[in-house]
Amino acid sequence: MSKIVVYQKPTCTTCRQVHAALTDKGVDFEAVNYYTDPIPKKKIKELLKKMGIPAVELLRKKESIYKELKLGEKKFSENELVDLMAEHPDLIERPIVEKGAKAILARPADRLREIL
């Protein structure tokens, strides 16, 4: 059975809900705080592929860095967006739950059922 990895920010309410749900179910998982342990560009690309979404769908549009970089005003390539997410973790929507060949954006937290 594939190990579950949760990419999260521990202070995020949804991340805490996912963490609690997995713990309550007795699921063995690894929690990665991507603010202290940044997700490399290659891994971001891999997660996007596993989720089946373009990089733009993983952006946190309400973050101040999103506005500062004017991400809603210009067109960026997939690689440019991945580079920006690797450089500015606040741009990455969370939590991302990965299990084997599949990954989901567990937002809202009840989407967790899709991967368990």
CATH of residue 50: 3.40.30.10
Which pTM was predicted?
0.94
Q: What is the separation of C-alpha 70 from the centre of its chain, rounded to a whole number of angstroms?
A: 21
User: Is 15 labeled as catalytic in the residue annotation?
Assistant: no
pLDDT tens digit at each of 116 positions of the chain: 689 999 999 999 999 999 999 999 999 999 999 999 999 999 999 999 999 999 999 999 999 999 999 999 989 999 999 999 999 999 999 999 999 999 999 999 999 999 98
Whole domain around residue 103: which residue ranges? 4-114
| Catalytic entry in 9, 10, 12, 99 | 12
CA angle 39, 113, 93 (to 5 degrees): 30
What's the number of domains the chain is made of?
1
